[in-house]
Amino acid sequence: MNQEQSLAEIERSLIEDFDLLEGVEEKIEYLVDLGHEMPKMDPALKTDERLVKGCQSSVWFDIHCENGLMRFSADSDSLVVKGLVAILDKLLNGQAAEEVLRMDLSLFERLGLWHHISSQRSNGLAAMMGHLKQAAVECLG
């Protein structure tokens, strides 16, 4: 969980990591690696209620609010999308709900990914962010 790191620090670290990579292929490869490093999600949690609407791939988020902090496990059936989920996990898991609401997707532009993922994946990424923001609103009650 990211309590010990601010959102800005996590973003800076991700940008530095992606800046080291040469081309689009390396960035996508690294994205897939990030997805592989994510903790496994309990298959029993992969239900329709946890499925993100608006994603072409299947993406699940099991989200809990603990004292105003967002905690979640997540998974996808697509390797690239799971990498995008892994970035959201690094950024937002354990963050305050207010931080989740302030988050936008400009980081993916700075990582050099936005123009290289399909429009369907970028729409799915926006749907995932919307899903997390709705949970953040509920968390704030």
Mean pLDDT within 64-89: 95
CATH of 7-140, one of 1.20.1740.10, 3.40.605.10, 3.90.1010.10, 3.40.50.150: 3.90.1010.10
The answer to whether the beta carbons of residues 93 and 2 sit under 8 Å apart is yes
> Average pLDDT over the chain, rounded to whole?
92
- Residue pLDDT, tens place only, 109-123: 899 887 777 777 888
Q: Tell me, what's the pLDDT at 4?
A: 63
- Residue pLDDT, tens place only, 96-106: 999 999 999 89
pLDDT for 2 beyond 70: no
- Residue pLDDT, tens place only, 59-74: 999 999 999 999 999 9
- Residue pLDDT, tens place only, 26-54: 999 999 999 999 999 999 999 999 999 98
pLDDT for 1 beyond 70: no
User: Known catalytic residue: 55?
Assistant: yes
Q: Please name the residues in contact with 113: beta carbons below 8 A apart, sequence gap of 6 or more.
A: 18, 27, 31, 84
CA atoms within 13 A on the CB side of 113: 24
Q: Please identify which of the residues 38, 55, 86, 111 carries the catalytic annotation.
A: 55
Q: Which residues of 80-94 are buried (b: 16+ CB within 10 A; e: fewer)?
A: bbbbbbbbbbbbbbb
Domain residue limits, the chain: 7-140
Work out the number of other CB atoms within 10 angstroms of the CB of residue 9.
11
**CA dihedral angle for residue 101, residue 107, residue 108, residue 109, rounded to 10 degrees:** 130
pLDDT for 20 beyond 70: yes
pLDDT for 129 beyond 50: yes
